Amino acid sequence: MSNSKRILLVEDNPDDVFIVKRILSKAEEEFELEVAITGKEAIEKFSNGNFDCLVLDYKLPDTNALELLKNLSKIRPGIPSILLTGLKDERLLTGALKLGVVNFLTKDEISSDILSQTILNALSSKQKSQFLEQRKEHIYEGLMDSMGQGLFALDVNDNIVLTNQRLAEILNYQEFELLGKSVFNLINEKDVETFRNEYSKVKSGNRANFEMSLISKMKEKIPVFINQTPLFDNNGVFNGSLSLVADMTNLKEMEKRLREAERLTMMTQIASETAHEIRNPLTVIKGGLYLLKTTLPKEKDIDEQILRIDKAVDRVNAHMDDLLNLSKPPLLKLRTANINDLIEESLVEVPPEILSNIEIVKELKDEQVNVDRERLKRVFINLVKNASESMPGKGKLRIAVQRVQIEKKEFISITFEDTGHGIPEEELEKIFDPFYTTKTKGTGLGLVICKRIIDAHQGNLEIQTKVGVGTTFTVQLPFFTS
């Protein structure tokens, strides 16, 4: 049978296998038929055999034809394939075309002449058959890909049988990678119940509109708005759904910024009303310190205490300036400083009781930076306090300095790594939001101000955390060359 055409039939229904065998045995052409009843068996036989054509049932015990075709194309791309299905479904047809299917037959259309001739046509051409061209699928496909929104269609088993280029872009996939996937493989775990509830309405014949998150190929959560419509066959039986998907990422970011702006405006108003109430006593304290400095005997311990109080008053004044100017970038007073000195000075200004049970490990490096000394020290003090509060009994705080390169630019990296309780994912997304805090006495502004200070220095403030292990804050400042 050297001139025979080798066909791999993937079909688990014994009756359908018998019909195909009988039809091909009576055909004028010689066909050598081999059968696989599962997707796994088809992959094994396809890997070990040289087949000329594939004939696949859409629904298989362990997979579906679209998913199977993606796997088979990794072994041998471009083999002509014919899809068998119980119903004509334009969604399935269009999706299958993107995976290289050259024809589509319903099982009630199979006869000796049609099946054998379809196989021969598939062998001679990998282009769309006349059957497909008559339905102008290339026009429909062009319309779908030109849409501004993503699109996907589901079969009755919740598998994706149709999609467009926009959805692939939103989720960072290739189109063919989405075909055959269960839609639940793309849904954020926390939104599965939402999708099921809304989809139950669709299965009852109603439309559904809802927000949720899809998971991209890079495992990122993409906020989307879905408009879902039920689809029915010619007998009025539910046959899946069509969904339009709008990427809400930019809108959510704009909403977040608007909320932040509103909160900052409110805080600025409150700060303006209370600033004079705070600064009046600070002026009195400043005057008292000057009097003490000029009247008390000159002793080192006394001078150091007065200086410490004086600096604390200055920090309160600077903090009030930050509150009053939350809606504007801070004005920096830049000068050259040694990063090690700034870290040591910051640790001295942290109240001793806060660090009483904390082991501090310093891995410092002698580096120069061009910074606003007092504002940068405020960042370091805040990060040290946060670290100590995450280790209420005892723990270790590692402070390390190193030079790193990011996108061909050099930075001085200062790492604050604690062994505390870590930050849960739901809190991590909000830690830089104004007024968000999990502390009973916190204002929710500490990290907000820290980030604004580092941003003003054209640096970065990054965080890595793992619940039960600890948290690492990393400050990255541009490398200073004198």
Measured from the Cβ of residue 277, the count of other Cβ atoms closer than 10 Å reads: 8
Which of these, 118, 62, 73, lies nearest to 96 by C-alpha position? 73
Q: Which is more confidently placed, 153 or 106?
A: 153
> CA gyration radius for the chain?
34
408 falls in which pLDDT band (50, 70, 90)? confident
> Could you read off the pLDDT of 231-241 as tens digits, one per residue?
887 777 888 89
Mean of the pLDDT values across residues 239-260?
84
Distance CA 90, CA 169 (A): 23
- Confidence band for 384, pLDDT divided at 50, 70 and 90: very high
- Provide the token pair at 137: 């699928």
To the nearest whole number, what is the mean pLDDT of the chain?
Answer: 83
Rounded to an integer, the average pLDDT of 164-190 is: 90
Domains of the chain are: 5-134 (3.40.50.2300), 147-247 (3.30.450.20), 252-328 (1.10.287), 332-482 (3.30.565.10)
Say which residues have a Cβ less than 8 Å from residue 341's Cβ, sequence separation at least 6: none
Sign of CA dihedral 117, 123, 129, 132: positive
pLDDT in tens, 291-308: 888 888 888 888 888 888
- Highest-scoring range by mean pLDDT, 126-135, 153-162, 330-339, 410-419: 410-419
| CA atoms within 13 Å, Cβ hemisphere of 185 | 13
- Which of residues 274 and 331 earns the better pLDDT score? 331
The two beta strands, 409-418 and 470-478, are: antiparallel
Amino acid symbol at 444: G
Counting other chains too, the contacts that 248-257 makes at CB distance below 8 Å and 24 or more residues apart are 248/211, 248/223, 248/224, 249/222, 249/223, 252/223, 256/433
Q: Please tell me the distance from the alpha carbon of residue 181 to that of residue 203, in angstroms, as a whole number.
A: 19
Question: Region 256-270: what's the mean pLDDT?
Answer: 71
Quick check: 250 pLDDT over 80?
yes
Residues in the chain, total = 482
User: Given the structure tokens 């400095």, which residue do they identify?
Assistant: 293
Between 259 and 49, name the one with better pLDDT.
49
Where in 309-408 does DSSP place strands (E)?
335-338, 358-363, 368-371, 395-406
CA distance 144 to 151: 8
Q: What pLDDT was estimated at residue 1?
A: 44
For residues 255-259, average pLDDT: 76
Confidence of residue 323 (pLDDT cuts 50, 70, 90): low
Distances (CA, A) of 354 to 350, 381, 391, 444: 7, 11, 10, 19
pLDDT at 329: 67
User: Which of 31-35, 120-124, 232-236, 328-332 is the most confident on average?
Assistant: 31-35
Residue-level pLDDT at 439: 64
Task: Report the pLDDT value the prediction gives residue 472, as an integer from 0 to 100.
Answer: 95
pLDDT score for 304 = 84
Strongest mean pLDDT among 242-246, 316-320, 390-394: 242-246
Mean pLDDT value across residues 212-233: 91
CB count within 10 Å of CB 390 equals: 18
Q: Are 181 and 217 in contact (CB under 8 A)?
A: no
| Residue 135: predicted pLDDT | 45
Q: How confident is the model at residue 440 (pLDDT cuts 50, 70, 90)?
A: low
Cα distance between residue 362 and residue 301, in whole Å: 27
- Tell me, yes or no, if the pTM score tops 0.85: no
Under the phi-then-psi rule, with left for phi > 0, alpha for psi from -120 to 50, and beta for the rest, what region is 454?
alpha
Q: Are 72 and 56 a contacting pair, CB within 8 Å?
A: no
Q: Which two tokens stand for residue 381?
A: 């003090």
Q: In degrees, to the nearest 5, what angle opens at C-alpha 349 toward C-alphas 345 and 353? A: 130
Q: How confident is the model at residue 355 (pLDDT cuts 50, 70, 90)?
A: confident
Longest dimension (CA), the chain: 118
Work out the average pLDDT over 213-238.
Answer: 89
- Helix ranges (H only) for 373-445 are 373-389, 425-428
If pLDDT is split at 50, 70 and 90, which confidence band does 326 have?
low
Look at residue 466 and tell me whether its pLDDT is greater than 70.
Answer: yes
Rounded CA gap, 115 and 331, in Å?
78
The top-scoring range by mean pLDDT among 2-6, 226-230, 443-447 is 226-230
Q: Is 72 a residue whose pLDDT tops 80?
A: yes
| Residue 396 token pair | 């270790």
High-pLDDT (> 90) share of the chain, %: 32
